[in-house]
Amino acid sequence: MKILGIETSCDETAAAVVEDGRFLHSNIVASQAQLHARYGGVVPEVASRKHLESILAVVDTALASASLDLRGIDAVAVTIGPGLAGSLLVGANVAKAFAYAHDLPLVAVNHLEGHIYANWLLPGGHQEESVEGTPRFPALCLIVSGGHTDIVVMEGHGHYRRLGQTVDDAAGEAFDKVARLLGLGFPGGPAIEKVAAGAGQSHLTLPRAKLKRPYDFSFSGLKTKVHRLVQGEEGTPPPLPELAVAFQESVVDSLVSAVLRAAKEQPVAEILLSGGVAANARLRQALSQRSPLPLRVPPPHLCTDNAAMIAACAYFRLQVGDVAPLDADVQPGLRIG
Ligand code: KG4
Ligand code: ZN
């Protein structure tokens, strides 16, 4: 079964064709990052206008790269939330129009669930199946993106039990805000990772938030600490590379500690990492070195927003007959678990 996936929840206009939830036929992502960089973050109105301009060309390219037209597609999947309302609406309306015009089932996908399903994709095509196998349940999932930081147990397809979440900033949001404080531009995650990688070790240690609920996260105190240091409120400001390393270590340590604790306390078979921050090499390295269980992490380009993960998730939703009505509304505040 070939599914056309569409993703426009934030600042990436994306379309992909995925077969049987695993095999990538095409994966097109038009990033708006450069457009938003001058504002230091995503401007919702600018994002939805740009989606509108790009979406049809992106879908056409995804179909052409898969050597298909819509007659070769079995279902249309789209991100329904969470995300920016105006941006979600562009993808949702285009998906509904295709589904209606070609009499195809429409599948409404939770973006956070989509991120997890990037772990089902085989980036290189059919031949890799035997190497990777499929994730086993129950799976411990850490979703770290620009808008969310959630730790959930996936009991089976579509069944999630949330253990914890961020009580303030998401991990990616913290990277973006601290990058702005350090004058490193947008998006902040890759910028901080690059500076930190060139700096080696830091003698500076930044705080890790201690919360009452063991699986919750907090990153806003860390951001405030960096702000105070940069402003010279605690003496001579440390060199920028030291700050980048210390900040990254603090975020990685908080995330890894929660995952390790959950891996010990919860009956789970393996760990699935996902979301834009999962592209971070230091996080990937720290988890793979310390994880007591098999760890699955998508390649970096499938960690950040894409439509292949949406099409992959939709395949498993369709297996249980989860077809959305054509008047399905977007859900900007949708959660998982
Ligand atoms: O999942 P995603 O592409 O979009 C959302 O759903 O939010 O995540 C984007 C976030 C941004 O905050 C970005 O700075 C962060 O992921 N990110 C990274 C890296 N690449 C992207 N954070 C740390 N290291 C990276 N290499
Ligand atoms: Zn995302």
Residue labelled with tokens 């908080």: 254
What integer pLDDT is reported at residue 200 of this predicted model?
A: 82
By most ligand atoms within 8 Å of CB, the mutation choice from 8, 116, 141, 145 for ligand 1 is 145
Q: What residue owns the CA closest to ligand 1's atom 10?
A: 146
What per-residue confidence (pLDDT) applies to 124? Answer: 63
User: What residues does CATH 3.30.420.40 cover in the chain?
Assistant: 2-123+301-318, 139-297
Cα 259 to middle of ligand 2, angstroms: 20
Q: Is the CB of 10 under 6 A from ligand 1?
A: yes
Q: State residue 18's pLDDT score.
A: 98
178-183: list long-range contacts, CB under 8 Å, 24+ apart: 178/222, 178/223, 178/226, 178/247, 180/40, 180/41, 181/223, 181/226, 181/227, 181/230, 182/226, 182/230, 182/240, 182/243, 182/244, 183/240
Q: What type of residue is 73?
A: I
Is 83 touching ligand 1 by the criterion CB < 6 Å? Answer: no
Whole-model pTM over 0.95: yes
Residue 294: DSSP 8-state: -
Return the beta strands (E) in 50-156 as ranges. 75-81, 106-110, 139-144, 149-156
Give yes or no for residue 279 CB within 6 A of ligand 1.
Answer: yes
The reported pLDDT for the residue numbered 202 is 86
Beta strands in the chain (DSSP E): 2-7, 12-19, 23-31, 75-81, 106-110, 139-144, 149-156, 159-165, 270-274, 295-296
Check if 189 has its Cβ closer than 6 Å to any atom of ligand 1. Answer: yes
Pick the CATH number of 139-297 from 2.60.120.10, 3.40.50.300, 3.40.1160.10, 3.30.420.40: 3.30.420.40
Domain 2-123+301-318 fold is: Nucleotidyltransferase; domain 5 (3.30.420)
Output the pLDDT for position 132.
Answer: 61
pLDDT tens digit at each of 337 positions of the chain = 999 999 999 999 999 999 999 999 999 999 999 999 999 899 999 999 999 999 999 999 999 999 999 999 999 999 999 999 999 999 999 999 999 999 999 999 999 999 999 999 997 644 444 446 899 999 999 999 999 999 999 999 999 999 999 999 999 999 999 999 999 999 999 999 999 999 988 899 998 998 999 999 999 999 999 999 999 999 999 999 999 999 999 999 999 999 999 999 999 999 999 999 999 999 999 999 999 999 999 999 999 999 999 999 999 999 999 999 999 999 999 999 9
Q: Is 146 in the pocket of ligand 1 (CB under 6 A)?
A: yes
> Ligand 1 in contact with 276 (CB < 6 A)?
yes
